[in-house]
Chains A and B, each alone.
Chain A
């Protein structure tokens, strides 16, 4: 039976104003029950105010094999980081 239930990825928003963050995955026969299972598995200690569930099959993920062409090429381009600005002293909380 287990093998027949598809895998779902669960994203939980912990507070208003924050983004949904990946919490884990679960098995469920359909979206409605996936949402309910997610509620039971990932929000039972008041972790969330909103849940998204997505069929794992529907997620297109980058492959570990593509790590270098995808991400490595950014490592020698420090000018893409906003680190060259002089911050005025009176600017707080940066």
Chain B
């Protein structure tokens, strides 16, 4: 794949895998209203993933469609960060994951609007409005749970603690991104880290939560190294398409 295709695929894989996780809340969220909210967020991400995967396939020029890329790649070919594949856990874990990822995605898409690649700029321009809402949703809940009852505080803190080892990977750069960023095409994730820290720290402080100091950190998602949960996620996501190739509604 050419570098731009790989970059589009990374952005698309992040969105696609988180969509799959959020869809697992369908019919199981703590409240009907929250069920709709989480799956709406998932649908926004699915829309982003579809455009980005299609674009990656188009750039690759080997005739792979969005479906081929979503359903027929194996675990080692997925380039999402490990944060988005982490299991939903309880509502606190899900909200923690949403907060950490959505703020990151908002900042990346925000800068990507100025990309010299018109397709990426257009995707970012549309997505940034959607993700602003995802951030708001996660911030609202983080504040309420963190600064709520003793139990909600403990669960929210546990969620933040569980997801924090996956944060460092978000801001990792490599030669591919560095070159694309220097050419004005991509956003170097390291460049948004200070703003991410400021924004997330402010929410944590408001929510009476403590910023964790993790003893380990995840790495490798961008090069296809995933946590043990990824295989199960893909099995569920890809099963139908692989059992019935070409099936349509």
Residues from chain A with a CB closer than 8 A to the CB of B33 are 26-28, 37, 40-41
Q: Which of B20-37 contact A (CB under 8 A)?
A: 30-34, 36-37
Interface residue count on the B side (C-beta < 8 Å): 12
Interface-centre pick from B33, B36, B40, B136 (highest chain A CB count, 10 A):
B33
Give the Cβ gap from A52 to chain B, nearest Cβ, in Å: 17
Give chain A's interface residue range (CB within 8 Å of chain B): 10 to 19
Which of A1, A32, A44 meets B140, CB within 8 Å?
Answer: A32
A41 to B31 CA separation, bound complex (whole angstroms): 13
Residues from chain B with a CB closer than 8 A to the CB of A33 are 140, 144
Give the Cβ gap from B151 to chain A, nearest Cβ, in Å: 12
Give the Cβ gap from A41 to chain B, nearest Cβ, in Å: 6
Q: Could you show 8 A-B contacts with beta carbons less than 8 Å apart?
A: A1-B30, A1-B31, A29-B144, A33-B140, A36-B136, A36-B140, A37-B37, A41-B33
Give the Cβ gap from B145 to chain A, nearest Cβ, in Å: 11
User: B241 near A: Cβ within 8 Å?
Assistant: no
Q: Fill in one digit per residue for A28-50: 1 if any B CB lies within 8 Å of its CB, else 0.
A: 11101100110011001000000
Q: Fill in one digit per residue for A6-39: 1 if any B CB lies within 8 Å of its CB, else 0.
A: 0000000000000000000011111011001100
